Structure 1
Amino acid sequence: MGVVVITGGSRGIGASTAQHLARRGLGVILTYNSNPAAARQVVADIEQAGGNAVALGLDVADIGSFTGFREAVIEALREKWGISGLAGLVNNAGHGLFNPIDSVSEAQFDALCAVHLKGPFFLTQTLLPLLETNASIVNLTSATTRVATAGVAPYASFKGGLEVLTRYMAKEFGERRIRANSVSPGAIRTELGGGLNDEFEALLASQTALGRVGEPEDIARVIGMLLSDEGAWINAQNIEVAGGYNI
């Protein structure tokens, strides 16, 4: 079924997605930034279950490193799988910031933009020559673009920009039959922003029609569908996966 690059694949949604895709029979190139040990553990778990994966370092905010990363991807494809192209790209890497607008610094603003909008834009551009005909791109956005939540204005704004960018990717890459969609998680049990304490989790669950917060696997299953033939006629869409959050 091919090989997929997943950024931010050492933990949370990225790690769960890497494992889910491997169970579907896809090869996985997952990236990490600050925790190579966690990435190696994800690779080990995948391989122990019979899958194939490689972990590569990548700082999505460092645009200048992308050409070197592409060369590392080409080498991994050749040495691990004996192929030269990618079946998909999942732009997942990111970090959170929970500050009201009046306390956000320019450095914080720029860091969020670099990871959540500028990085995915130029990483996709860099890896585009490797994407095969009928490949699929999935960008991770956020339900905070629909439900205004105090303290996440910059994060949500850049995720909104990524949602718009997704539609333009679908438009411009359509001639190559490359699809582009975004997945918009609601409240998910991950380490983003420091994770969820019991009180906050109970509040979020009470605001969700299905009465719980999401798990990384809830998101991974939808990403897997979009990367497979099951999602072959889904294009230029944003799919909120939030259990009915604030409806």
Structure 2
Amino acid sequence: MKIVIVTGSSRGIGASTALECAKRGMGVVVTYNENPAKAEDVVKAITEIGGAAVALKLDVGNFSSFPDFREAVSTQLSAVWGRKTFNFLVNNAGYGLYAPISTVTEEQFDGLFSVHLKGPFFLTQTLLPLMEDGGHIVNVTSATSRVATAGVAPYASFKGGLEVLTRYMAKEFGARQIRANSIAPGAIRTELGGGLSNEFEAMLAAQTALGRVGESEEIGGVISSLLSEENRWINAQNIEVAGGYII
């Protein structure tokens, strides 16, 4: 059995990714920051379809906690799956902020940087000793790094940086046959940034070729598919999953 760690998987795209991976027979480490009950709901949903999952607390913006998280992962790998390593890491955890450049504070800037770029960098570094050769890293980026949308400059900038980091991960980890790719969602109906108002959703749908916003399971399905063996030759790519957003 392959084991995947999905950060920020108590809700939204992360929860959908965890469930889709379980449907493909993977064991799942679900992580949460503030809501353990929602994480346990995801674990329950996975066990109800015959899968195996555990929930662990992880604050991607708190780098000093990463060694303890690695130890917790190691403990659960041994206790639940009888092994010392995992196969896949999905760096998904994040949050949104809508603010024009002229109003963004240093605190807001640093918070987004920590979670969306610095966190995935050092979490991946911390977990590498536990990742099996031949593994796969998927970083969740954003279509906003391709299309400039007023009000999301820091978020989009760090997602763009994560896209670049993905290629460097593929380059540097290739000797271990570890692949790295990124998935760039377009407008998705999730709780990120407080969710979408009806007016904003209608505007985004009008800018999308398929005429609607996406659902979280449509992203989770692509991520789980990318982890599969049939896609083993896809590497160092940023794959936009956006229904044709502003084309």
TM-score by length of 1: 0.99
Q: Percent identity?
A: 69
CA distance in 2 between partners of 1:224 and 1:22 (Å) = 9
CA distance in 1 between partners of 2:86 and 2:240 (Å) = 26
Q: Secondary structure at the match of 1:96?
A: coil
CA contact (8 A) 1:136 1:226 kept: no
2:174 matched to 1:210? no
Q: Secondary structure at the match of 1:236?
A: coil
* Partner residue in 2 for 1:179: 179
Task: List structure 1 segments (4+ residues) > 6 angstroms apart after TM superposition.
Answer: none
Cα deviation, 1:174-220, whole Å, max 9, x if unaligned, reads 00000000000000000001101211111111110011100011111
1:118-137 aligned at under 5 Å gives the runs 118-137=118-137
Quote the offset at 1:144 in angstroms: 0.2
* Partner residue in 2 for 1:147: 147
Q: Secondary structure at the match of 1:244?
A: coil
Partner amino acid, structure 1, of 2:45: D
Q: Secondary structure at the match of 2:28?
A: strand
CA distance in 2 between partners of 1:158 and 1:232 (Å) = 27
Count of paired positions: 247
CA contact (8 A) 1:7 1:91 kept: yes
CA distance in 2 between partners of 1:208 and 1:124 (Å) = 33
Quote the offset at 1:98 in angstroms: 0.3
Q: Secondary structure at the match of 1:136?
A: strand
CA distance in 2 between partners of 1:120 and 1:25 (Å) = 25
TM-score by length of 2: 0.99
Q: Secondary structure at the match of 2:97?
A: coil
CA distance in 2 between partners of 1:119 and 1:211 (Å) = 34
CA contact (8 A) 1:133 1:178 kept: yes
Q: Which runs of 5+ in 2 are unaligned?
A: none
CA contact (8 A) 1:87 1:131 kept: yes
Q: Which runs of 5+ in 1 are unaligned?
A: none
* Partner residue in 2 for 1:63: 63
